[in-house]
Amino acid sequence: MKVAEVRHILDTIRDMFPDAHCELNHSNAFELTIAVLLSAQCTDATVNKVTEDLFQKYKTPLDYISVPLEELERDIRRIGLFRNKAKHIQSLCSILIEQYGGEVPQAHDLLVTLPGVGRKTANVVVSNAFGVPAIAVDTHVERVAKRLALAGWKDSVLEVEKKLMKAVPREEWTLTHHRLIFFGRYHCKAQNPSCQVCPLLDVCREGKKRMKTAVIRKDNDVLKASKKLEMKKRMG
């Protein structure tokens, strides 16, 4: 994709969502790490409901490992995969205490070694908690990037990330990450994207396909209605 086309996309989503931000509630790097870990296969809204009480009860890594696993499981049971996530949280907290003085490490390569922390989680933490430019690819970012041809249909998550990092200026990585999420979450949805009113329809291969299909369907409906009316006239 040409530089001008990428710029057009970036400027458009900037204008659509100028206040895009991380929607996971947190007050420090540790809380953000826990929140992102919990958000896997779960909505941010649900995570925020759970962490509202969770972050009142558990303030430090020591708090999380000072309770039985079953108690932590009960505290996060509204979260998908809560049993595995509870285990990851306690293991992660033990490592933070033993190796990092109870603090979340700032280095990306150290973060990804923590239980339950993958590349996406690490990117979210370093960019939002430590101000390091990064593009975290979640389902929204991946979907939008592929629909807008910023990445290939068959690209892996890592390939999508690399292509976005190459196409987007480094100083815009973090903001673009948030804007792509907002664009995918509130506009370019998985099932019912707002193609008919999308300002990026001109560069969206998925949107053009959907709109073409919608026109064909509408023409067929009109044709069917016309045939029914003609038959009624003949019979009447």
Q: Which residues contact 76 (CB under 8 A, 6 or more apart)?
A: 38, 50, 54, 82, 85, 86
Question: What per-residue confidence (pLDDT) applies to 59?
Answer: 96
pLDDT in tens, 130-161: 999 999 999 999 999 999 999 999 999 999 99
Name which of 155-159, 161-165, 210-214 the model is least confident about. 210-214
Distances (CA, A) of 5 to 2, 10, 129, 196: 5, 9, 31, 20
* pLDDT value of residue 222: 42
pLDDT given at position 135 = 96
* pLDDT at residue number 101: 96
Specify whether the CB–CB gap between 178 and 22 falls below 8 A.
yes
Q: What is the pLDDT of residue 1?
A: 74
Contact of 140 with 120, CB cutoff 8 Å: no
Determine the angle formed by the axes of helices 173-186 and 139-147, rounding to 10 degrees: 90
pLDDT at residue 176, as a whole number: 97
Tell me, what's the pLDDT at 232? 63
| Residues assigned a catalytic role | 120, 138
Q: Mind giving me the DSSP string for 172-226? A: GHHHHHHHHHHHHHHTS-SSS--GGG-TTGGG-HHHHHHHHHHHHHHHHHHHHHH
pLDDT at 164: 97
Name the more confident of 56 and 203.
56
> How many other CB atoms sit within 10 Å of the CB of residue 61?
25
Instruction: Quote the pLDDT of residue 234.
Output: 63
Each residue's pLDDT tens digit, 61-96: 999 999 999 999 999 999 999 999 999 999 999 999
The reported pTM is 0.85
